[in-house]
Structure 1
Amino acid sequence: MRDIRDDLQDRADQLRRQIKAAHVQFEESFEQITKEQGGRLKDLQVELDAVKRLIAVVTWHQNVRAVMARAVAAATAVAQVTEAACRSSHRQAEGHPTPAE
């Protein structure tokens, strides 16, 4: 009977050592995965910040283009009115009737 108890005790001790080794391995794996995930998250955050800056630049560029298009349209309208006024004034100076007369 004593041999069985010693064998069982040896088996229990062996299982405790295996459990402890598995727990240590689990903790090391968990720490490694946590570090890797932290690195990936940092890389993704850097990439996200770059995309946000790019979106801001594109939005600014589109706004500038819209403002410039309106300014060009306004300048073109002013130029057309000015050109028409100059031609009318020139015709009057030469003695030609204006279209409104």
Structure 2
Amino acid sequence: VPPLIDNVEFGGLIADKAFDSNALVAELNERGARIGISQHPARALKLKIDHETYKWRHLIENFFCMLKEFKRIALRACKTDQSFQAMIHLAAAVINSR
């Protein structure tokens, strides 16, 4: 992750528990960024997280779960990037209309 966020300005990071590392958390704290990382259950010392940012992480996670209900998206059945993007837009419109 460090090469990806190097020289990038942001106010917070929303991530899954795969990104729960002490080095990343230390860098985010050093930058003053809000942390919205799902903590690994085996973590000895629990992190202080921003609950408002964590709510957004949960909302995004739920949206991806709803997207995966669409078979063509879950199986990545589209042949091109454009058709895959079109299916995501279509599925998002269907989810939004529910």
TM-score, reference length from structure 1: 0.23
Could you say which structure has the higher strand fraction?
2
Larger-Rg structure: 1
